[in-house]
Each structure stands twice: as C-alpha cells, then as structure tokens.
Amino acid sequence: MKAHKYWSVGALITMIGTFYSGYKGSKSSHKYFAASSLLCMIMAIYTGHKMIS
C-alpha cells in the first residue's frame, strides 16, 4: 500500500528533524516537528493496520 510507505517515510523525516532541533535547542521548531512526527506515526500505524486486515 503506497499510503503506508509515504506516511512511514514522513514519520522518519520528521523524527530526524525532531532530534536535530532538540539537539540544537530550538524549542519552537522542536515542538512542530514533534507534533508532525506524532501525526505521521498515527497515520502510518492506521494505514498499516488497514493493510494487514
């Protein structure tokens, strides 16, 4: 399923951004990266669950 692959890649990219912004100490961008990472992970789990069932 293509949607699962794209959500998973998006989650990976935003996680890397979250770690990088946390390392640099940028509070506002860290918050946005973390929220978008959470959204991508939820959608990746949801599309993966639909793919399995």
Would you state the pLDDT for residue 42? Answer: 94
HEC secondary structure over 1-53:
CHHHHHHHHHHHHHHHHHHHHHHHCCHHHHHHHHHHHHHHHHHHHHHHHHHHC
Q: Is residue 1 scored above 80 in pLDDT?
A: no
* Domain ranges, residue 9: 2-52
Q: Is residue 53 scored above 80 in pLDDT?
A: no
Would you state the pLDDT for residue 10? Answer: 93
CA atoms within 13 A on the CB side of 31: 2
- Token digits of residue 37: 């990472």
Calculate helix-pair angle for 27-52, 2-24, nearest 10 degrees: 160
Q: How many structural domains does the chain have?
A: 1
Task: Write the pLDDT tens digit of every residue in 19-28.
Answer: 999 998 988 9
Would you state the pLDDT for residue 49? Answer: 87
Which position has the token pair 């912004």?
Answer: 21
Q: Is residue 45 scored above 90 in pLDDT?
A: yes
